[in-house]
Structure formats: C-alpha cells, structure tokens
Amino acid sequence: MDTTSSNDTQHALWRRLALPASLLLNLFLIALIAGFMLHNPEASGAPGGGQLGRALANFESHLSPQDARAFNSVLARDLPRTSAASKKLAAARVELARQVAAEKYDPEATRQALSAWRVSWDGFMQDFSDTLVDGLGQVSPDGRRQLLQAAEKRRERRLGPSIP
C-alpha cells in the first residue's frame, strides 16, 4: 500500500474541511459578539457609559481625589465636542452589529458599516486625544506614574510579565 498517496488524501480532506469549519466558527463568533452589542447598550462606548466609561472609571480609580477632579474638569470642559464624536461612533457600532447579525448577511453592507465605524473611530480618537493629553497634563507626576503602573499590571494580567 502506498502511504504517500494515503497521507496526501488525508491532508487534502483535512484542508477541504478545515477552511469551511473555521469560516463557520468565525461567523458564529462575530454574530455572537454583534448580538451582545445590539442587546447591550453599554457596549456602545458612549461617554460616561460602556467601554469608554468603564475605562475612564478604572483610570480615575488609580488617581488621588484631587487628580481625579482635575482630570474630570478637562473631560467636562470638552464634553460638548467629544460627545458628538462619541455618539457617531456608537451609532456606527450599532449599524455594524446590525449588519453582522442580519438574517440575510450582506458582505458589501458589512464592509460599508465597518468602514463607517473605522472613520467614526478615527474621528472620535482625533477629538478625544487632545482631551486626554490635556487631562493628563492636569494630573500630578505621581498620579501619572500610578496610571502607568496600573496599566502595566493590567497588561501583565492579560499577557504575562514583560521580558526585560
């Protein structure tokens, strides 16, 4: 019996089954995430709520009350400007999730929704970056060091210790 042709047949069968199985699993996971985003408004990333709100609350939890107040004063000052970009980002996320979870999946509509989300993300980051930089400028040097230490601890919990 020729084992080479048997191995080739097994490899061909594996490749023919692995790709469709992987694609189906990825589509299922995307639909699962999209469903979560559609049914969980906090996942939209709006200021004061969702992912951004949680990130800012975590950020502020590592600051002294005085540093947190100083940082929040900058956020409050810029809220009218950053709020509009945040709302656009949240709307783009909802549309992307809607396209991904649609009963009749439309790849082109999903590409357009993803592109709109990316443009909204870039716009939000452009608006929010100055606010973040200004806010950090109001935090004491010790507070900024504490933030860096907390970020490193979070990174280590997710990825393990860094190599020196």
pLDDT per residue, tens digit, the chain (164 aa), is 555 666 667 666 666 676 666 666 655 556 555 554 444 444 444 444 566 677 777 778 888 889 888 888 888 888 888 888 888 888 999 999 999 999 999 999 999 999 999 999 899 888 888 888 898 899 999 988 888 888 888 778 777 766 65
Q: Rounded to a whole number, what is the distance in angstroms from the first to the last CA of the chain? A: 54
Concatenated DSSP letters of 20-43: HHHHHHHHHHHHHHHHHHHH-GGG
At which residue do the structure tokens 């692995």 appear? Answer: 18
SS (H, E, C) 111-155: HHHHHHHHHHHHHHHHHHHHHHHHHHHCCCHHHHHHHHHHHHHHH
* pTM assigned to the model: 0.57
